């Protein structure tokens, strides 16, 4: 397929996404700048000449200012090699195959391993006497992150900001600290949930916790529902202790339902976001395989993330993840962090068919959280788009008036996505 046809084919992906989001997905609301610390050669717009550094422009800023008024400006390039810059006016003399087209300027970005499988341990718990299978990806508390990481043999990321989540964004989960030995977080029976995605109005993957401890001289037994736990507490058999910790525990299988499994399990660098985020659920081997998507952290480091749930229902349905209306309460809360996606420009492996996004925080940062408030970046002149990799890049180009940034409002609703950042290669 030639570049022009490939460009058109990739653009065709966009309506498939926006159809599920509604016409108000992109707004012109003033952007909230990311809180991450970025480092980039584009740290200030002062030395930007159009879409490149003035030091990279032949003759420097003075020459660029002079060329702005001429009819033969230097064509922008998307690599750091400036030896191939060609005045736009001279392109008419080149063969048709050598002419720089819109596709040349906006369809060549392909990241290696842009979509990879990530196999994550499953845990078994209960809701109303039936089995629930879930994963644990993040903890607001370092002790729980360390304990769970060790027990499951898979990294739980520390996300201190989750402690700031309001009560309406949390669901309650009971953890057992003694009693019947099992595969629970503390080595005893499985956790008990008070809701599942089937109870969409109250379900949240973010869970507050109550420790359940069997009292002395009591014979422990399996308690598999909120009702049984309350009854045992009323009878003086157990002690309930609220714990100031929030875990990200997305449910994968619950009574009467499960996350969508993608029909086409063949992953490529251009696999679309639609149709599900899960490749396989194995309750015998106790693991689930997600698609891990590649992007950038605030300073340009490579990150991978999975998608487990979102609000509102349009984006959630398009991606094939759980709809969680309770997450909307995070829109102005510090438990959610900014994630910037692109709505035009360089075509690539981002969710809208353009370059991958940039996050304001990443694992190891004080402001990392798996809960993301989505902003959209749009190029004023998409045909002149360049690769942006850091928060500094983004802020500099916005200051220069080359991009606009607005908060996403699909279905005219608050938009939050649960995208835990993970290491898919562990």
Q: What is the pLDDT of residue 97?
A: 43
The count of other CB atoms within 10 Å of the CB of residue 270 is 16
Work out the percent of the chain whose per-residue pLDDT is above 70.
75
Residue 270: the pLDDT is: 83
Rounded Cα gap, residues 387 and 389, in angstroms: 6
Residue 239 has pLDDT above 80, yes or no: yes
Q: What tokens appear for 224 in the block?
A: 């598999």
Task: Specify the pLDDT at position 17.
Answer: 40
Phi, psi of 285 (to 5 degrees): -80, -10
Calculate the average pLDDT of the chain.
82
Neighbours of 227 (CB within 10 A): 12
Distance CA 155, CA 364 (A): 12
**Quick check: is 185 in a domain?**
yes
Domain count for the chain, please give it.
1
Q: Which of 245, 423, 412, 406 lies closest to 338, judged by CA?
A: 406
Asked, for residue 387, whether it belongs to a domain, the answer is no
Question: Global pTM?
Answer: 0.77
183 inside domain: yes
Does some domain include residue 18? Answer: no
**pLDDT at residue 130 greater than cutoff 90:** yes
Dist. CA 150–CA 170, nearest whole Å: 25
pLDDT at 100 > cutoff 50 = no
Q: pLDDT over 90 for what percent of the chain?
A: 69
Element (H, E) at 349: none
Segment 357-368 mean pLDDT: 95
Phi, psi (rounded to 5 degrees) for 379: -80, 135
- Looking at residue 58, its pLDDT comes to 75
Whether the pLDDT of residue 28 is over 50: the answer is no
233 part of a folded domain: yes
Confidence of residue 395 (pLDDT cuts 50, 70, 90): very high
Q: Is 173 a member of any domain?
A: yes
- Say which range, 48-62, 233-247, 256-270, 309-323, has the weakest mean pLDDT: 48-62
Q: What is the pLDDT of residue 53?
A: 55
pLDDT at 381: 94
Q: How does 330-358 read in b/e, with b if 16+ C-beta sit within 10 Å?
A: beebebbbbbbbbbbbbbbbbbbbbbbbb
Res. 8: pLDDT tops 50:
no
- Tell me the residue range of the domain where 137 lies: 116-254
What is the C-alpha to C-alpha distance for residues 117 and 267, in angstroms, rounded to an integer?
A: 8
Instruction: Please give the average per-residue pLDDT across 165-193, as a whole number.
Output: 96
Q: What is the DSSP letter of 223?
A: -
Q: What is the pLDDT of residues 296-313, one digit of tens each?
A: 999 999 999 999 999 999
Q: Is residue 56 part of a domain?
A: no
On whether residue 226 sits in a domain, the answer given is: yes
Q: Is the pLDDT score of 160 beyond 50?
A: yes
- How far is 34 from 121, CA to CA, in rounded Å? 32
Q: List, in sequence order, every residue forming a beta bridge with 134; answer none if it has no partner.
A: 123, 251
- Alpha carbon distance 33, 328 (integer Å): 20
106: Cβ–Cβ under 8 A, 6 or more apart, which residues?
7, 345, 346, 347, 382, 383, 385
More confident: 353 or 222: 222
Task: Give 317-332 pLDDT, tens digit per residue.
Answer: 999 999 999 999 999 9
Mean pLDDT, residues 362-391 taken together: 95
pLDDT tens across 33-55, in order? 333 333 333 333 345 555 455 66
Confidence of residue 111 (pLDDT cuts 50, 70, 90): confident
């Amino acid at each position: 397929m030639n570049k022009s046809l490939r460009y058109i084919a990739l653009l065709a992906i966009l309506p498939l996404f926006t159809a599920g989001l509604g016409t108000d997905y992109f707004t012109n609301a003033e952007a909230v700048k990311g809180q991450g610390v970025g480092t980039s050669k584009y740290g200030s717009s002062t030395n930007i000449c159009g879409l490149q550094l003035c030091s990279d422009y032949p003759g420097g800023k003075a020459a660029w200012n002079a060329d702005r008024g001429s009819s033969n400006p230097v064509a922008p390039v998307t690599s750091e090699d400036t030896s191939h810059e060609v005045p736009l006016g001279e392109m008419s003399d080149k063969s048709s195959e050598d002419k720089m087209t819109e596709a040349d300027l906006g369809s060549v970005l392909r990241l290696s391993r842009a979509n990879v499988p990530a196999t994550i341990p499953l845990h078994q718990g209960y809701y109303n006497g039936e089995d629930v299978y879930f994963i644990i990806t993040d903890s607001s508390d370092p002790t729980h992150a360390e304990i769970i990481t060790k027990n499951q043999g898979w990294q739980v990321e520390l996300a201190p900001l989750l402690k700031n989540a309001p009560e309406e964004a949390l669901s309650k989960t009971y953890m057992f600290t003694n009693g019947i030995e099992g595969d629970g977080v503390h080595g005893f029976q499985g956790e008990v949930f008070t809701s599942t995605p089937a109870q969409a109005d109250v379900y949240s993957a973010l869970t507050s916790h109550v420790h359940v401890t069997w009292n002395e001289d009591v014979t422990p037994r399996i308690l598999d529902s909120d009702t049984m736990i309350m009854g045992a507490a009323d009878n003086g058999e157990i002690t309930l202790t609220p714990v100031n910790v929030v875990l990200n525990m997305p449910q994968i299988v619950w009574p009467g339902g499960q996350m969508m499994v993608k029909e086409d399990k063949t992953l490529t660098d251009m696999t679309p976001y639609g149709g599900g985020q899960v490749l396989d659920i194995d309750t015998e081997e106790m693991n689930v395989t997600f698609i891990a998507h590649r992007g950038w952290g605030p300073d340009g480091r490579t990150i991978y993330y999975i998608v487990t749930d979102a609000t509102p229902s349009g984006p959630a349905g398009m991606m094939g993840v759980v709809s969680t209306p309770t997450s909307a309460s995070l829109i102005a809360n510090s438990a959610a962090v900014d994630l910037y996606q692109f709505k035009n420009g360089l075509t690539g492996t981002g969710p809208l068919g353009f370059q991958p996004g940039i996050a304001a925080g990443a694992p190891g940062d004080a402001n990392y959280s798996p809960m993301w408030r989505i902003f959209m970046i749009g190029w004023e002149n998409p045909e002149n788009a360049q690769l942006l990799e850091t928060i500094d890049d983004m802020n500099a180009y916005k200051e220069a008036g080359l991009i606009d940034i607005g908060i996403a409002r699909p279905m005219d609703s608050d938009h939050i996505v649960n995208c835990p950042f993970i290491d898919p290669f562990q």
